[in-house]
Amino acid sequence: MFMFRRLTVRMNSPYFTDSTAGLDTYATDSLGKSAVNKGGIRRLRSRMAQGLKSEDDPPKVKSEVEEQSISLQTHAQPPTETVSNCKKTTTKVKEEAVDNQALLTSSRKTRRGRLKVEYENEGAELKSEPCDWRTQLSFIREMRSKRDAPVDQMGAEKCYDTEAPPEVRRYHVLISLMLSSQTKDLVTAGAMQRLREHDLSVDVILNMDEGTLGKLIYPVGFWRTKVKYIKQATALIQQEFGGDIPDTVEGLMRLPGVGPKMAHLAMDIAWNQVSGIGVDTHVHRISNRLGWTRKETKTPEETRRALEEWLPRDLWSEINWLLVGFGQQVCLPVGPLCSVCLNQHTCPAAHRSSPSKKLKSSPASPTPQVKGNVGQEKPRGNRRKGKTGAPPSGQTSVLESA
């Protein structure tokens, strides 16, 4: 009994109570510290492991964001708004990463595409316009503004009968083009006038003998060859095209004596369709003198292809009329009048020959005007005066030589 009381007093004493509490507190603190230390060691080990892994693998935005969210949840208990903001930030970062990756991929594809196009077009020739061609063309228009050249009065578009039926007018245009090869416009206009006096048409030419036709068209250049071509072409028009000239370049070139120049001019004048540039000796010569061809061309057909590569299509119909009249008055085949030409400072061929010649004034009437032109081409071949017979036998050639 005594011992029980003694033990009770001792347990109720403040000394015993404080010591026990102290021991409990110490134990609790030590356990908490050990738990904290254990948690710190685990985090340290996990961070070290992640650091080693990050050295081998490239850093990823997604893993860093997840680590940040885990650490925030471990050390503190954020409110609901903070957690939602963190989720939004994570989603936004993910979206930005996806967008950046898409941009990089698209830029790489674009660069590859551009390189592919460059390699594909590496051997292709680039179309380039000649220097100062617009200025030169405007000066030619200014010099041709009076419209007083022989082609303006007696060209193919002036030789048909305006009161005839449409198919007859188109036939007149074709015959005038066939006669104009290697022939002055004055001679061509005279031959067409005589043919029209005999009611020029498909049926009339088919019923006319070659001798009569030759007398009517003489003295055009290569008149014998042209008589045969006119008869053969007219028969083909009657048999395969119903009495009207073909309405395509391919059909026109099937006719004997008709080449690319005549076909394109016939399409423009007769059918009012621009199919190509009509290049004759004047257009061929002036284009090479002005440097409008990439390299010097040898034939009118080469010049046509060279001009059509860069010249705007809306100028194809005008260019023949401009250059033909310009070649008849100023840019002559022999002794061009460079001193009066407005393009003398930009033309590569200016002043190479006869730089001191001056342009003669043209009379008002068309016929004396042609006779007064300086340096015009003379009909090839020596014709004897006062006779209507044939020229020398060696004077036969193809119509499309010019």
The residues near 375 (Cβ < 8 Å, ≥ 6 apart) are: 332, 333, 334, 335, 336, 337
Token pair for residue 61? Answer: 């935005």
Token pair for residue 401? Answer: 């030589």
The residues near 177 (Cβ < 8 Å, ≥ 6 apart) are: 156, 258, 262, 265, 266
For residue 221, the one-letter residue type is G
pLDDT reported for residue 204: 97
Distance separating alpha carbons of residues 318 and 300, to the nearest angstrom: 17
| Range 37-43 contact pairs with CB under 8 angstroms and sequence separation of 24 or more | 43/74
Contact call for residues 319 and 105 (beta carbons, < 8 A): no
**C-alpha count within 13 angstroms, C-beta hemisphere, residue 274:** 11
Burial class (CB in 10 A: 0-12, 13-18, 19+), 269: buried
Contact call for residues 336 and 330 (beta carbons, < 8 A): yes
Contact call for residues 230 and 180 (beta carbons, < 8 A): no
Collapse the DSSP code of 239 into the 3-class scheme (helix H, G, I; strand E, B; otherwise coil) and give the result: helix
Contact call for residues 74 and 36 (beta carbons, < 8 A): no
pLDDT reported for residue 128: 81
Residue 385 among the catalytic residues: no
| Annotated catalytic residue, options 261, 298, 360, 387 | 261
Distance separating alpha carbons of residues 267 and 252, to the nearest angstrom: 9
Contact call for residues 169 and 350 (beta carbons, < 8 A): no
Contact call for residues 320 and 284 (beta carbons, < 8 A): no
Token pair for residue 301? Answer: 């057909």
62 secondary structure, DSSP code:
H
pLDDT along the chain (402 residues), means of 10: 56 51 49 54 70 52 51 48 49 58 53 41 58 96 95 92 95 97 94 96 96 96 96 97 96 96 96 96 96 94 96 96 96 95 94 56 38 38 42 42 40
pLDDT reported for residue 402: 40
Contact call for residues 373 and 252 (beta carbons, < 8 A): no
pLDDT reported for residue 9: 53
State the DSSP string of 161-191.
-TTS-HHHHHHHHHHHHHHHTTS-HHHHHHH
CA distances from 376 to 10, 150, 361 (A): 150, 11, 15
